[in-house]
Amino acid sequence: MKSIVLLGGGPEQADAIKISKELGCNTIVLDSNLLAVGRKFADKFIQCDIKNSSEVFRNIENLGVNGLMVHAIELSNVVAEVSDQISVEEFKPKFNRGYSIRYIIPNPGKIVSITGVDKAQKIEGVIDIILSDDLQEGKVISPMKNNTNRKGIVITVGKNRNEAVERAERARDLINVKTI
pLDDT in tens, 12-28: 888 889 988 888 899 99
Question: At 25, is the secondary structure helix, strand, or coil?
Answer: coil
Nearest to residue 4, comparing CAs of 112, 75, 86, 120? 86
Whether the CA torsion 89, 3, 82, 163 is positive or negative: it is positive
pLDDT in tens, 106-163: 999 999 999 999 999 999 999 999 999 889 999 999 998 877 778 999 999 998 889 9
Integer Cα distance of 74 and 37 in angstroms: 20
pLDDT of residue 137: 94
Nearest to residue 168, comparing CAs of 73, 93, 102, 94? 102
Indicate where the chain has its CATH 3.90.1170.50 domain(s).
98-179
Indicate where the chain has its CATH 3.40.50.20 domain(s).
3-91
- H or E, element range at 13: helix 11-22
Question: At 86, is the secondary structure helix, strand, or coil?
Answer: coil
DSSP state string for 96-150: --EEEEEEE-PPSEEEEEEE-HHHHHTSTTEEEEEE-TT-STT-EEPPP-SGGG-
Instruction: Kindly state the DSSP code that residue 50 receives in the 8-state scheme.
Output: T
pLDDT in tens, 35-85: 999 999 999 999 999 999 999 999 998 998 888 888 766 777 777 778 777
pLDDT of residue 94: 59
Integer Cα distance of 99 and 37 in angstroms: 32
Q: Domain 3-91's class?
A: alpha beta
98-179: CATH architecture: Alpha-Beta Complex (3.90)
Integer Cα distance of 103 and 125 in angstroms: 16
Phi, psi (rounded to 5 degrees) for 6: -115, 120
Q: How many CA atoms lie within 13 A of 94 on its CB side?
A: 1
